[in-house]
Amino acid sequence: MDADISSLKTANGNEARHEIVRAAAEVFMEFGFAATSIDAVAERLGATKGRIYHYYGSKAELYFDVQIAAMERLLREIEPIAQGEGNAAERLEAMALRHATILMEDLPMQKVAVRGLERELLGAVAARHAKTLRSIIRLRDDYEQIFAEVVDAGIRDGLFVDLPPRLATKPFFGALNWLTVWYVPRRLQKPEDVAEIARTLTGFAMRGILKGAQP
């Protein structure tokens, strides 16, 4: 958001921050926000609190950064597909496929992001970080909006079932995002299996939204 005076220092700082974010994502994924201690994140880093608090002002700020990193990757990869070529069905399918794949590739980050700001935060540190909270909710809304627009186009073209776009995207996301609940990465055998799962889920979601031929 504000990295501009980039020099060696800033670059190193960004890399150091990113290491912390990755470790934090893993621990947050395992235990959730409240049950994750900064000491546990530090331990996973092979370091101590000092290192983390040198780069982050609070646990909430670190948690937010995980979410932002996850959302930014999704936005960065999916938006071009949405604006690309093909009819609404083709674009939506490509978006879903990429979306599901990213969830599995970046599971820790994405799992944290998908579970979202689950109230655990709103009640607690809401006021302090109200501005950051808004911007994350904004990111999420923007992302859903990208899908909603393609869905809307598909509905207008008569390709998709006749539903309010915002409502149609809910089960669509559900079929895909649910994998963050059940998917457990196995050692080895990964690259093709991930693609296979992504195709299966995408196929399901597309059938759910496409206007069928039978009455």
Which residues of this chain interact with a copy of itself, rule CB under 8 A? 29-35, 116, 118-120, 123-124, 161, 163, 167-168, 170-179, 181-182, 197, 200-201, 203-205, 207-210, 212-214
The reply to whether 48 sits near DNA by the rule CB under 7 A is: yes
Q: Quote the CA–CA distance of 76 and 83 in Å, as a whole number.
A: 12
Q: Which is nearer to DNA, 38 or 94 (CB)?
A: 38
Q: Quote the CA–CA distance of 29 and 181 in Å, as a whole number.
A: 11
Tokens of 94: 């490509």
The reply to whether 101 sits near DNA by the rule CB under 7 A is: no
Kindly write out the interface string for residues 158-197 of this chain, putting x where it contacts DNA by CB under 7 A and - elsewhere. ----------------------------------------
Q: Element (H or E) spanning 148, and its range? A: helix 130-156
Q: Which is nearer to a copy of itself, 3 or 126 (CB)?
A: 126
How many residues of this chain bind DNA (CB under 7 A)? Answer: 22
The reply to whether 30 sits near DNA by the rule CB under 7 A is: no
42 binds, among DNA, a copy of itself, none (CB under 5 to 8 A by kind): DNA
Sign, Cα dihedral of 43, 45, 46, 48: negative
Sign, Cα dihedral of 18, 127, 180, 204: negative
8-state DSSP, 160: B
Q: Which is nearer to DNA, 131 or 187 (CB)?
A: 131
Tell me how far, at minimum, the Cβ of 116 lies from a copy of itself, in Å.
Answer: 7
The reply to whether 131 sits near DNA by the rule CB under 7 A is: no
205 binds, among a copy of itself, DNA, none (CB under 5 to 8 A by kind): a copy of itself
8-state DSSP, 123: H
Q: Quote the CA–CA distance of 75 and 77 in Å, as a whole number.
A: 6
Q: Cα–Cα distances in Å, from 171 out to 50, 53, 168, 176, 178? A: 43, 40, 6, 9, 10
